[in-house]
Amino acid sequence: MRKTALITGASKGIGKELAFIFAENQCDLILTARSGDRLAQLKEQLEDGYGISVYPVVGDLSLPGAAEALFREVKDKGMEVDYLVNNAGFGDYGLFADTPWHRYEEMITLNITSLSHLMHLFIQEWKGRKRGKILNLSSTAAFQPGPMMAVYFATKAFVLSLSEAVGNELRKEGITITALCPGPTSTYFGEVSKMNASQLVKNVKIADARAVAELGFKAMMKGKPAVIQGSMNKLAPFSIRFLPRKWVTRLSAKVMQHQ
């Protein structure tokens, strides 16, 4: 019987690449994003190209209650989800005090609240079945504070910590949770977050979205707790463990400063 994956933020970037990878592996898809036009185009491409079924859901997971509404719609349609991919998320570049609060409220709702709520809803449904896999998009930002993107870095630290902790709790249930931690990637994220203005993007190699998606898919299928994209990205979280926290924050601030 064909399995089904639910992917949030599926209309572009890593989410879109993951949709193609699941389709290539003959999984039916439930895809959600804010752009109905992009979802409709993606549905046509995937169904025509791979002979699978794609159910698009246009919605904004940065709104309160959106996660439960998505879950209820899936249940009302009688669809069973085997893989949950929490890809939707955004960041913003600038001083914490200079950014309007509503921007952070939307970021926290999307990056933390909706992700956590979808996890909770599907895990409750999956318990006792000895199956189910979750892939959460974290970031290399999860491993240190990030001046100029303070809230975004904090949300990704939350995602990594939650994924590892809940994954440990579920190890006897046959349910796995994987946190994918990419560095800067060739997606629309840099434009939306304005992170393209920082030294970080200027001085590091930008990863390919397809390569990041393939890494995350493989790690998810193997049930790995976390996976970091790129050899240099793997080195950084290890090396900063030996530095005082204030040094790590100052170094991060220097890297994140405006070009």
pLDDT of residue 7 exceeding 80, the answer is yes
| DSSP notation for 46-80 | HHHHH---EEEEE--TTSTTHHHHHHHHHHHTTPP
Please identify every residue annotated as catalytic: 152
Q: Which regions of the chain does DSSP assign to beta strands (E)?
A: 4-8, 28-33, 54-58, 83-86, 133-137, 176-181, 226-228
Task: Indicate the pairing of strand 4-8 with strand 83-86.
Answer: parallel
Q: What is the mean pLDDT of residues 205-232?
A: 92
The 10s digit of each residue's pLDDT in 72-97 is 999 999 999 999 999 999 999 999 99
Neighbours of 165 (CB within 10 A): 12
- Measured CA to CA, the distance from residue 177 to residue 163 in angstroms comes to 6
Output the six-digit token pair for 193. Answer: 């977050």
Q: Which long-range contacts (CB under 8 A, 24 or more apart) does 72-80 make?
A: 74/6, 74/30, 79/4, 79/30, 79/55, 80/4
- Measured CA to CA, the distance from residue 115 to residue 9 in angstroms comes to 11
pLDDT of residue 259 exceeding 80, the answer is no
Q: Which CA distances in Å does 221 have to 53, 83, 231, 243?
A: 21, 10, 21, 34
The 10s digit of each residue's pLDDT in 130-189 is 899 999 999 999 988 999 999 999 999 999 999 999 999 999 999 999 999 999 877 655
The 10s digit of each residue's pLDDT in 35-73 is 999 999 999 999 999 999 999 999 999 999 999 999 999
pLDDT-based confidence at residue 257 (cuts at 50, 70, 90): confident
pLDDT of residue 202 exceeding 60, the answer is no
Q: Where are the domains of the chain?
A: 4-256
The pTM score is: 0.88
Q: Which CATH superfamily is domain 4-256 in?
A: NAD(P)-binding Rossmann-like Domain (3.40.50.720)
pLDDT value of position 1: 82
